[in-house]
Amino acid sequence: MSGDILVFGEIRNGELKKVAKELVHGAMTIADGTGGSVDALIIGTGAEAEAAKLAGLGVRKVAVVDDEATANYSPEGYATVLADLVKEGDYGYVLLGATSMGRDLGARAVAKVDGVMFSDCVELGFDGGTVKVKRPVYSGKLYLEIAPTGGRPVFMTIRPNNLPPAAEKDGGGEVARRASGIDLAAIKAIATEIVPLAGGRPDVTEADIIISGGRAMKDASNFKLLEELADLLGGAVGASRAAVDAGYAVQPIQVGQTGKVVNPKLYIACGISGAIQHLAGMRTSKVIVAINKDSNAPIFEKAHYGIVGDLFEVVPILTEEIRKIL
Amino acid sequence: MKIIVLLKRVPDTEAKILINQEGTGIREDGVKFVINPYDEYAIEEGLLMKEKIGGDSKVTVVCMGPEEATEVIRTALAMGADDAVHIADGALSYPGPFTTAAIMAKAIRDDGFDVIFCGKQAIDDDMAQVHCILAEMLDVPQVSVATTFELSDDAKKAVVGRRIEGGDEKIETSLPAVISCDKGLNEPRYASLPGIMKAKKKEIRKKSLADLGFSEVPGGGRSRILKWLPLSKGGECRMIEAEETSDAVRELVRLLREEAKVI
Amino acid sequence: MRSISVLKPVSGSFTQGKEMCIQLSEEERMVQKTARDFARKDIAAVVKESNRDGVFREDIYRKLAGLGFMGMTMPEEYGGVGFSNLCLALALEEISRICPSTAIAVSVHNSLANYIIYRWGSDELKNKYLPRMTSGEAIGVYALTEPNAGSDVAAISMSAVRDGDDYVLNGSKIFISTGDRAGVIIVIAKTNPAGRSRGLSAFVVEPDFPGFSVGKVEHKMGMKASTTVELVFEDCRVPASNVIGEEGQGIQIALGSLDGGRIGIAAQALGIAQTALDEAVFFGRERQQFGKRIVDFQATRWKIADMGTNIEAARLLVYRAARLRDAGEPCSKQASMAKLFASRIANEAVYDALQIHGGVGYTEEFKIERFFRDARVLEIYEGTSEIQRIVISKKILEEYEQMYPV
C-alpha cells in the first residue's frame, strides 16, 4: 500500500459537507508524514460541481462519480465504489466524516478491502512512521490512542468540528469523472426519500454555535427564545434529555450520552443542570457558557463562563446585546 | 422466519469507568454489567417481528462474551427470545470488529437467517462496525441506525427509516439484511416474571472457537492500543456577576467577543 | 442454679446454612431488575401526582399484573409464576423505593389474599378465584380490623350467621387497604359468638354480593396513593361455599398468614430506608454550607454510617426470614424480628435524611418528606411493634425453655 490518502467528500442535496474540508486537513497531516498525495472521492448527484471546493485545497485528484446507480445513497453501492477506488489506487489511508453516511459506508468498504477502521476519531497525527488516532470510548468517559498494525488500508471516520478546515492552496487539483461500475438492479438496499427536519438550522453535530435548553425551559414554546438567538448567530438549537423527555424538544436535537455528541465553538447551556450524561455530549465544546438559577448546578464546574440567573431574563438580554454588536 | 439478534455484555452506562493500575484496560471490580442498551431495541424489534409474522418464527440471540454473559443472554430469553448461542473462548480478549464479525458470521451462516438485528454500537468500544463487516461477510445488505422498521406484507422487503443530519432517510432493503437499531425504534419490553420463568428452560448453545472451526482467533492483529487516556480536567469557570443582570450579560458578550473570540 | 458447661446454640435455625446465603440467584436478580426498572420508569412517572392527589393508579396495577407480579408465589396451575418469597421481598423493596403505597397492594394481594385462598381454600375456591387474582383481573384484599379489634384479633365482633345456603354478614371493617378497588375480599367474621377466638371463620366476599358497600374513606398522613377504606356489611349474603377452610378455622388462618405479611412489610420498610439513605447522600453531596459539602461534616457522616449499618442489618433479617419460609422452615420469630427492626430503622432513616436536607427537606420539592410521612405507619400496621415484641420475646423464651428447661 502506498502512503497516499483518499478523502471521502460527502455531499447532501448536491452540497459538500463542511467536514470534508476538515478531512483534507487531516489527510495533509498524514501526507506530511508519508510523503504521499491526498486525493478525494465524491459520489452522488451534483458531485462534479462540488469537486472544485476540494481541488482548491491542495488535493491532487478529485474523482467524481455521478451516474444513475449512485443518484441515491446505497450502503453497498457507495461502499463498492469506494472500495474499488481504494484497491485501484492502492491507498494506504481513507478518511471519512463520522456522519451517518460516513460511518455506514466506511465500515462496509473497509470490510471489502479487509482493512482496519477507527471510528469517530477526534484527533489524528503521524508519528514514528505510523498514523495515530485518538478516539472516545465508554460513551466518552475515556479516550484511546491507537495505531494500526499489519500493513492494511487504514480507514478513519473523523468527528465533524474537531479538525480545522484545510487552507486554500494555489494550483487547483485535477477533477476526473469516474464510472460507478455498479449495476443499479443488483443493489439491494437503497435510499428512497429524505424527510428534512423542520427548522432549516444546521444539524447540532455540525453546528459551530449551539444554544441549548434544559428542563427549566418549562414549555416547548419557550424554545423560541433560544431559536431567536441561534438564528442570530447562525447556530443550532439543542436540548438536554430532561427537556426532550418532558416534551419540550424533539429527540434529534438532544445532546448527550443517549443523544448527539457535539463539538461547537460555542455552547450556551440555558437552564441545564449539567448531569454527567449531558456533559458526555458537549464537554469538548471550545467555549461553554452556563446560565442557571442554581449556583450549585454541576454545569458550572465544566463551563468556561457562567451567569447565575433566570434564563428567561438573561437570554433575551443576551440576544439584544449580541444583535447590537453583530 | 429466522430472526437473529446480536447481543453484547457491556458495563452499565451509569457506572464510573476508570483506567486500571497497569493502564491496560478498565477497572472491572464493582462495575455492573448489562445488555448493551442499543441491543435492547434490537431484541424488541426481533420480538415484534416474530409476533407480527407468527407461524414458526423464531428469535435466536447470538452473544460473544465471557462466561458471565449468560445472565444477559438469559434476560433476552426472558424478554421472549426463543434460544441462544453463546460464543465463549479464553482466547478472546477485547476482540476487534473483524474478529467479532468473522466469528459471528460462521455461527450464523451455518444455521441460516432471514434478518439480523443488532444495536447501532456497543457502548464500550463505540466502534459501530461489526454489523457492516458482518453484512459484507454474509453478502447481504445493511441499514444502520434504524429508527423505524416496516416489514412488507410478504416479509421479503423492509422500509427502514434512519436519522441523518438534518432529517430522516428512508432506505428500502430486501431481506435477508443486517439492521442496526437506534433509540426510538421501539420501547423495549420488561423481562416479565412468566418470561423469566420460561427462560430457565430455554436452550443456550455454548460454542468455543474450535466448535466453530477456528484454529486461531480470526481477524486479529489489526491495531494496537498505545494509551488509555482519562478525561482532561476542566479549568475554572469564570462566574460573571454584577448588580444588574443586564450588566452581567453585557460583560459576557464582551468576553465572548474579545477574550474567547467566538462571536 | 444450673452450671452451663456447654453452651449450645439457642436458635435452631443456624443449623440450616443455606438460608444464611445472601447471594442472589440469577432468577432472583432478574426479578429484582424487572421490578427496579418498572418502578424507576413507569411508577416514577406518576408517583408525585398520585401521592399528592391520593389516587390509586389502577393502570400501574394492571401493568404490574401483566408482568406477573400479582401471582408471584402462586403455582403455574393457577396462573402464577411459582417464585420464592425472597423474590417477592425483592420486588416489594424495589417498588417501595419509588412508591411505598403501590407496594401495599402488591404485598397484601400476594402474601395475604392469594396465600390464604391457596393454603386453606377448597379446590373449588382456588379454581374459582386464584386465576382471576394472578392475572390481576381481581385485586385481593384482607379485611380483618374492626373499630374494636386492632391488635386484639379475638375481639372481632362482625357476625356471620348461617341461613340456608348462605352466611349473612353484619358489621364493618376499617382501615382496609385498596378495599374500594377489590375484586376479592378475605373477611374474618364471628360464626360462633360463644367461642372467643375459636368462633371466627374466613370468607371470600365479592364486591357485588348483596349488602356489601364501601363506607368511609380515610384521609391519611402518608401512603396516600393507597386507598384506605371502611367496608360495610349490612345483611351481606355470602354463599356457604365461600367459607375458606372450615367454619371456626378463622383464627388459625389469620395467625397462619402473619409471617408472609410481615416479611412483605419488612421489605417495604427496607425500600423506604434505602431511599432515605440514597436521598441523604445525593443531597449531601450537592449542598454546601460553610465552604464544604454537607456530606463532609462529621455529624452527617455519623448519620450515614448508622443508616447504612441499619439497612444492611435489616436486609439480612428480611432475606433470612424469606429464605427460611422458602425452605418450609418455621420463620415466625424471624419474620417478626425483620418487621420490627426494619420498620424502626426506616423511621430513623427518614428522620435523619430529612434533617440532612435541612429546610428544603420540609418542602414538597424533594421526595424525602413523602417518605417521612409514609414511614410512620410501618410500626403500626400488619402487627404493631408492640405485638411484634410480644411474639419475639415469647419465641425466645420458648427456645430457652427447650434448650435449658427449668
pLDDT tens digits, one per residue of C354-368: 999 999 999 999 999
Grid cell, residue B43, equals 431484541
Q: How does residue C10 score in pLDDT terms, banded at 50, 70 and 90?
A: very low
Q: Across the interface, do C81 and B190 touch by the CB < 8 Å criterion?
A: no
Average pLDDT score, chain C = 93
Q: Is C113 exposed, middle or buried (0-12, 13-18, 19+ CB in 10 A)?
A: buried
3-state DSSP assignment of residue C323: helix
Q: What does the pLDDT read at residue A13?
A: 85
Nearest CA distance, B1 vs chain C (angstrom) = 27
C254-403 belongs to CATH 2.60.120.260? no
Q: Please name the amino acid found at residue C239.
A: P
Domain B2-207: assigned CATH number: 3.40.50.620
C-alpha cell at C121: 381454600
Q: What is the pLDDT of residues A62-73, one digit of tens each?
A: 999 999 999 999
Distance CA C341, CA C379 (A): 9
How are beta strands B238-239 and A305-308 bridged, if at all? parallel
A225 lies in the same domain as A179: no
pLDDT exceeding 70 applies to what percent of chain C? Answer: 95
Same domain, A177 and A207: no
- Return the pLDDT at B231: 80
d(CA A222, CA B257): 26
The answer to whether residues C140 and C104 touch, using CB atoms and an 8 Å cutoff, is no
- Give whole-number Cα distances, B75 to B80, B196, B199, C245, in Å: 9, 7, 8, 40
pLDDT (average), residues C229-238: 97
Q: Say whether both A142 and A225 belong to one domain.
A: no
Distance (Å, whole) CA A241 – CA A252: 11
Neighbouring chains of A at 3+ CB pairs within 8 Å? B, C
Chain A (10-29) residues lying within 8 Å, Cβ to Cβ, of chain B: 12, 17
B-chain residue closest to C83, CA distance: B197
pLDDT of residue C20: 54
Same-domain pairing of A292 and A215: yes
Residue A242 lies in a domain: yes
The ipTM estimated for the assembled molecules is 0.92
d(CA A216, nearest CA chain C) in Å: 14
pLDDT score of C140 more than 60: yes
Report the run of H or E that residue C51 belongs to, with start and end: helix C44-53
Q: Interior CA angle at A119 toward A116 and A125, to 5°?
A: 80
Calculate mean pLDDT across residues A30-36.
95
Q: What is the band of C110 on the pLDDT scale with cuts at 50, 70, 90?
A: very high
Give bridge partners of residue C176 from the DSSP assignment: C229
Which other chains touch chain B, taking contact as 3+ CB pairs less than 8 Å apart?
A, C
Residue A169, classified by CB atoms within 10 Å of its CB into exposed (0-12), middle (13-18) or buried (19+), is middle
> What is the C-alpha separation between C274 and B170, in angstroms, rounded?
47
- Give the CATH number, domain containing residue A91: 3.40.50.620
Q: Are residues A182 and A203 in the same domain?
A: no
Q: How confident is the model at residue C406 (pLDDT cuts 50, 70, 90)?
A: confident
**Statement to judge: residues A205 and A75 lie in one domain:** no
Whether the per-residue pLDDT at C14 is higher than 80: the answer is no
Neighbours of A166 (CB within 10 A): 23
Confidence bin at C16 (pLDDT 50/70/90): very low
Cα C248 from chain centre: 25
CA gap B63, B84 in Å, rounded = 8
Q: For A75-111, write each residue's pLDDT tens digit.
A: 999 999 999 999 999 999 999 999 999 999 999 999 9
Across the interface, whether the CB atoms of B250 and A321 are under 8 A apart is answered yes
Whether cis (ω within 30° of 0) applies to the bond prior to B218 is no
For residue A111, what are the domain limits? 5-186
- The rounded distance, in Å, linking the Cα atoms of C26 and A242 is 33
Q: Cα A54 vs. chain centroid, distance in angstroms?
A: 17
Domain stops at, among A145, A163, A186: A186
Do residue A136 and residue A115 come from a single domain?
yes
Inter-residue contact A301 to A288 (CB < 8 Å): no
- Name the pLDDT band for C9 (thresholds 50, 70, 90): very low
Average pLDDT of B249-262? 91
Task: Please compute the mean of the pLDDT values over residues C265-281 and round it to a whole number.
Answer: 98
Contact state of B169 with A117 under an 8 Å Cβ cutoff: no
Contacts of C287 in chain A (CB under 8 A): 296
Q: Using an 8 Å CB-CB cutoff, list residues of chain B that contact chain C.
A: 70-71, 74-75, 78, 190-197, 199-200
Q: What is the pLDDT of residues B152-189, one digit of tens each?
A: 999 899 999 999 988 899 999 999 999 999 999 999 99
pLDDT band at B52 (very low <50, low <70, confident <90, very high): very high
Among C27, C38, C76, select the one facing B200 at the smallest CB separation.
Answer: C27
Strand, helix or coil for residue A167: coil
* Stretch C369-375: mean pLDDT: 98
Query: Each residue of B208-242: pLDDT tens digit?
Result: 999 999 999 999 889 999 999 988 766 788 899 88
Q: Are residues A212 and A152 part of one domain? A: no
The fold adopted by the segment(s) C26-139 is: Butyryl-Coa Dehydrogenase, subunit A; domain 1 (1.10.540)
Domain final residue pick, A186, A215, A242:
A186
- The segment(s) of chain B belonging to CATH 3.40.50.620 are 2-207
**A123-151: pLDDT as tens digits:** 999 998 899 999 999 988 899 999 999 88
**Best of A112, A121, A141 to disrupt the B interface by mutation (most B CBs within 10 Å)?**
A141
**A104-108, A211-215, B232-236, C296-300, range with the lowest pLDDT:** B232-236
A 81-110 residues inside an 8 A Cβ radius of B: 99-101, 103-104, 107-108, 110
Q: Is residue A191 part of a domain?
A: no
Contact indicator for B36, B126 with CB cutoff of 8 Å: no
From the list C38, C37, C292, the residue with the least C-alpha distance to B14 is C37
Tracing cell 470534508 back to the chain, one arrives at A20
A233 and A175 share a domain? no
Rg, C-alpha atoms of chain A: 21
Which grid coordinates are listed for C127? 379454581
C144-173: average pLDDT = 95
Q: Identify the pLDDT of residue A90.
A: 96
Range scoring the smallest mean pLDDT among A271-280, B42-51, B200-209: A271-280
The closest CB to that of B74, out of C30, C38, C82, belongs to C30
Alpha-carbon gap, residue A93 to C242, rounded angstroms: 81
CB-based contacts of C40, cutoff 8 Å, min separation 6: C98
Nearest 5°: the CA angle C398, C402, C406 is 95
Same domain, yes or no, for A167 and A291?
no
Burial class (CB in 10 A: 0-12, 13-18, 19+), C110: buried
Give the pLDDT confidence score for residue A201 in this predicted structure: 85
Number of structural domains, chain A? 2
Longest dimension (CA), chain A: 61
- β-strand A123-127 against A130-137: which pairing, if any? antiparallel
Q: Which amino acid is at C19?
A: E
**Every domain of chain C and the residues it spans:** 26-139, 141-249, 254-403
Size of interface B-C (CB pairs under 8 A): 43
pLDDT at site C21: 59
Question: Which of A127, A151, A186 is the last residue before a domain boundary?
Answer: A186
- Asked whether residue A317 is domain-assigned, the answer is yes
The pLDDT of residue C376 is 98
In a domain, residue A216? The reply is: yes
* Count of CB atoms situated within 10 Å of the CB of A296: 13
Retrieve residue A153's grid coordinates. 488500508
- C67/B193 CB distance under 8 A: yes
Q: Is A151 left (phi over 0), alpha (psi -120 to 50) or beta?
A: left
- Is residue A121 in a domain? yes
Fold of C141-249: Butyryl-CoA Dehydrogenase, subunit A; domain 2 (2.40.110)
**Catalytic site positions of C:** 382
Distance from CA of B72 to the nearest CA of C (A): 9
pLDDT confidence of residue C367: 96
Are both A172 and A202 inside the same structural domain?
Answer: no
Asked if A307 has any chain B CB less than 8 Å from its own CB, the reply is yes
Mean pLDDT score, B115-119: 97
Chain C residues in contact with B16 by the CB 8 A cut-off are none
The reported pTM is: 0.90
Exposed/middle/buried for B2, CB within 10 Å: 0-12, 13-18, 19+?
middle
A192 belongs to a structural domain = no
**Least CB–CB distance from C81: residue in B71, B75, B197:** B197
Cβ B166 vs Cβ A197: under 8 Å:
yes
| pLDDT at res. B207 | 95
